[in-house]
Structure formats: structure tokens, C-alpha cells
Amino acid sequence: MAKPKTKILVIDDDPKVAWILKEGLESKFNFVSARDGIEGLQMVSTEKPNLILLDIKMPGMNGIEVLEKLNKMEKRPDVIMVSGQGDTNSVVDSIKLGAAEFINKPFDLQEIEIHINSVLERNTLKQEVEELKSELEIKSGWSNFIGDSQAMQKVKDIIEQVSDSELTVLIRGESGTGKEIAARSLHQLSSRSDKPFVKVNCAAIPRDLLEAELFGYNKGAFTGAHRDKQGRFELAHTGTMFLDEIGDMPLELQSKLLQVLEQQEFVRVGGNNTIHVDTRIICATNRNLEQGIVDKSFRDDLFYRLNEITLLLPSLRERPEDIALLADYFIEKYNKLYGKEFQALSGDIMSALTIFSWPGNVRQLENMIKQVVVRGDESIINDLINSAGAIPANTSQPVAVGAGVGYGAVSPYFEGEQTFSLKKRIGKTVAEEEKRLISEVLTRTNWNRRRAAEMLEISYRSLLYKIKDYNLNSVK
């Protein structure tokens, strides 16, 4: 489809002006015209022009007055002033009022076209910047941290409560549960949000380089240190430092980190001066740090200092209610990214996603949906689930401590299973097993009894009887 032509409103008491413009430039722009300021202002609302050519000298309301009125509008088109001889003062006034350009009468058509195009180009650029800005603003809110389940609501509540405090937060949870998003949200919701957020992945940087990376070095500190260099802690001054995979921090650096936490100061590698920093520290790990303390690979004093608040992110299998929401979010994300138009997933595929055990959590779901969108074929989910089901689930279950939300691990009973049919799963019905299965399916479906009955492959009525018989209660 051809792009609609730019609409230009000409406000001039001399009808010749609009006529000349139409004659000369009608193939490029769409002109509408008004003979005075009042009519012009009305047409701004009715015609919604992209640009206004505004004569300064007009009987009744002059161009400057029109511009003042336009400025009172919430959003107005750009204005090019058309001035005659001797209008110097008015030109200065209109600069102050924010006119985009000036053209002197009598004008040359080619010159006027150049002026119009330059204003339009600037406008497009401005729009692009605004779009980018609002995209960033949305990103900085909750809009990219998806989850409505009770478990996620609790996580978001804790983030909101502690974001603006100076408490050190330790974020725990299995791989792919969103620890990094949680850290960024903590920063975004704090009063440091317009200051730097600096991330260091302690597992990704070789041990012998980590100290220089974190704390910087002075010239001559080691071979190759040809000049002084700031470390990441200095870059994070006034902002937030996110130490990812803190469980991998070498023991010898842990005491230096403790000093930063306790005194907000440190010395660069090879340096003599003490450097002070004001930085809020957030850490994340999927390791069992308590075990590290027992093994003497993690300092207990550091653990307690880092752990003023623990934020434990639930695994995806603990919040199956969020799967549909996340799937829709990723479909939209990758449709946009790859210019695709994949619609929604079918009910069958959604059921398969709901009962899968998700060893790789949200990251695994995101990758699956990405492939579905790119290939435009949802049936690949079955193959992906089958092959992933063969991989054992993440075994590094975090331990719930502190202010964490305290989720228990889901029983291994469900790992990799694809059916909840009582007959297929249990063979002969053992009451205890039956009760356990029903109660897990009810939790997974967020107590949607119809869905649970379908998954269990029993009738709705018989599920209701069983709920009563086994005395199962929704905790919601």
C-alpha cells in the first residue's frame, strides 16, 4: 500500500499562496487551506494536518497569535512561518514560540519543498526517539516480568517492598526462573533507577581476572597493566551492582567483597589509595550456598551479609497457571521480532505445556515458543517436550530461607510424565496414590476442576466425588 501523502494546512489571507503551492507541489503533498486564523485553528482539529504553513501578517488574528493558541494544544503539528518583508520582530517572537522554520515571501517552490522535507525528517526522528523512550519505560516497569500466579505476586510484592531500601538482596532460584529480570526490576523500582546498573557474572570471568574486573587496577599492577583502569564497582558508583552467580566467586575475593559491603571501600589491584563507593549490591545464584559454607568454599559472614533479604523465584512447574500468559507474551515478542503472525497455541498443546516439568524453566519455554513462531508450526512442541523430558530436571534445588517465599520442591513423581490418566499411571487404583495425583493436578490447574477432570481422564462428576471423599481443599 502506498504511503498516504503528508497533509499540509496553509493558513494565509492571500488565496494565491495556497493556489501556487497546490499547482507546484500537489504531486508530493496534500494541501488544505484556510483564509484566516480562526478557520485555520478549526481545521487543525478537523483535518489533522501533519504540518502547518502559517502566514505572520493576517487581518484579525495574526500568525503569532495563532501560534500561541496552537501551543496550548496537547500536541500540535510543526509550524513553518511564512513572513513578508519587515517582519523581523515577529520572526524573533515566533522563534520563541517554537516555530520549526521560516520562509520569506516571495518564495521559491524548490526552496519551500526543501524546508518542508527537512521539518518532516526531524519530526520522524523525534517520533522514533519517543517510541524508543516509551518502549524503554514499559520495559522498566513490570511489563516484561510476566506472572500473575500467587507465587509470582508474592515475589513482585517483595521486590516492591525492598527495592528502595539499601538492603542487600540475594536472589535464588533454579536456572531460567528470571533472576536477572528480578534484579533489574529491583534497580528500576529504586531511586537509583537513572543511575548505572552494572552486571558482573562471576562464573563467566576467569578467576585471576575477576579481581581486576571488579576492583580495577593501577598502572604496573601486573604485566600488561599499561594504565590505570576503573573497576566495575567504580562504574556502579551511585547505582546498583548485580553480582550474578555469586556462588562462583573465589574464596580469596570474598573478603574483599565483604569489605565493600561493610565499609563501602576497597583498594584497586596494585593501588595504595582507598576508594569509596556508594553502590547497592544485588546477588544471584542457583547454587546451594549453605553447602558451600559446609564445604568451606563460601564464607559464612559474607553469606549472612548478602542475605539480608532472600528472594526465592519459584520454578515454572510450581506455577503452571502462568504458562499460558508467558506463552502469549513470547508469541507476541517473537512475532514482532521476526515479523511473523503466529496466532495462539491450540488447547492440546497448551495442555501439554501445562503438565510438562520444565527443567529449564521460563528460558526453556521461551526457546520453545521462539522456535514455534519462527517455523510457524506448533506441532514441534510435542517433539521438543519429548526430547527434553528425557533430560533430568535441574537438581540444584535452592533452599528457601529468609524472607523467601518458601516453595517446596515438586515431587519427582511428575518429572517428564506426559499423561495424568489414572488408569495409565496407576494401573490398579491405590487410594493414596489417587489422592496424591488428583491433588497435584488440581494445583497445576489452579483448581480448575473441569480441566483437572480432563487431564485425569475421569468425568467431572466423579472428580467432584473424589475431592469430597478425599477431603481435598483449595488453599486459594
**Toward ligand ATP, which CB reaches closer, 177 or 254?**
177
For residues 412 and 394, is the Cβ–Cβ distance under 8 A? Answer: no
Q: Identify residues 323-382 at the interface with Mg ion (CB under 5 A).
A: none
CA angle, 382 as apex, 377 and 388 as ends, to 5°? 120
Give the residue nearest to ligand ATP (CB): 178
The contact pattern for ligand ATP, residues 366-405, with x = CB under 6 A and - = no contact, is x---------------------------------------
Residue 239: closest CA among 286, 201, 183: 183
**Toward ligand ATP, which CB reaches closer, 83 or 286?**
286
**Toward ligand ATP, which CB reaches closer, 199 or 256?**
199
Phi, psi angle pair for 115, to nearest 5°: -60, -45
**Toward ligand ATP, which CB reaches closer, 151 or 212?**
151
Q: Which helix (H) or strand (E) holds 15?
A: helix 15-25
- The binder of ligand ATP chosen from 123, 140, 175, 297 (CB under 6 A): 175
Cβ burial 159-197 (10 Å sphere, 16+ → b, else e) = beebbeeebbbbbbbbebbbbebbbbbbbbbbebbebeb
Pick what 105 binds: ligand ATP, Mg ion, none; C-beta below 5 to 8 Å, kind-dependent: none
Pick what 37 binds: Mg ion, ligand ATP, none; C-beta below 5 to 8 Å, kind-dependent: none
- Nearest-10 Cα torsion for 104, 108, 112, 115: -70
Ramachandran sector of residue 225 (left: φ over 0; alpha: ψ -120 to 50; beta: rest)? beta
**Toward ligand ATP, which CB reaches closer, 50 or 285?**
285
Question: Which of these segments, 2-10, 87-95, 177-185, 377-385, binds ligand ATP (CB under 6 A)?
Answer: 177-185
Nearest distance, CB of residue 171 and ligand ATP, angstroms: 8
Residue 33 as a binder of ligand ATP (CB under 6 A): the answer is: no
CA distance 151 to 156: 9
- The binder of ligand ATP chosen from 107, 145, 414, 447 (CB under 6 A): 145
Question: Which of these segments, 169-177, 221-229, 405-413, 423-431, binds ligand ATP (CB under 6 A)?
Answer: 169-177
Please tell me the count of residues contacting ligand ATP according to CB under 6 A.
Answer: 16
**Toward ligand ATP, which CB reaches closer, 179 or 232?**
179
Residue 367: closest CA among 431, 298, 316, 426: 316
For residues 91 and 55, is the Cβ–Cβ distance under 8 A? Answer: no
Residue type, 238: T
Peptide bond into 398 cis (omega under 30): no
Pick what 145 binds: Mg ion, ligand ATP, none; C-beta below 5 to 8 Å, kind-dependent: ligand ATP
CA distance 369 to 380: 10
Residue 309: closest CA among 157, 198, 148: 157
Pick what 314 binds: Mg ion, ligand ATP, none; C-beta below 5 to 8 Å, kind-dependent: none
Residue 180 as a binder of Mg ion (CB under 5 A): the answer is: yes
Q: What's the gap between Cα 270 and its chain centre?
A: 39
- Nearest-10 Cα torsion for 257, 263, 265, 270: -60
Length of the chain: 476
Question: Which of these segments, 4-12, 129-137, 176-184, 388-396, binds Mg ion (CB under 5 A)?
Answer: 176-184
Residue 216 as a binder of ligand ATP (CB under 6 A): the answer is: no
**Toward Mg ion, which CB reaches closer, 395 or 411?**
395
Phi, psi angle pair for 92, to nearest 5°: -60, -45
Nearest distance, CB of residue 323 and ligand ATP, angstroms: 11
**Toward ligand ATP, which CB reaches closer, 114 or 204?**
204
Phi, psi angle pair for 414, to nearest 5°: -100, -5
For residues 56 and 81, is the Cβ–Cβ distance under 8 A? Answer: yes
- The binder of ligand ATP chosen from 37, 49, 63, 173 (CB under 6 A): 173
Q: Identify residues 277-306 at the interface with ligand ATP (CB under 6 A).
A: 286
Q: Which helix (H) or strand (E) holds 433?
A: helix 431-444
**Toward ligand ATP, which CB reaches closer, 49 or 320?**
320
Pick what 286 binds: ligand ATP, Mg ion, none; C-beta below 5 to 8 Å, kind-dependent: ligand ATP
CA distance 169 to 283: 6
- The binder of ligand ATP chosen from 363, 425, 435, 436 (CB under 6 A): 363
- Tell me the three cell numbers of residue 247: 556462588
- Nearest-10 Cα torsion for 390, 396, 397, 402: -160
Interface with ligand ATP (CB under 6 A):
144-147, 173, 175-181, 286, 362-363, 366
Interface with Mg ion (CB under 5 A):
179-180
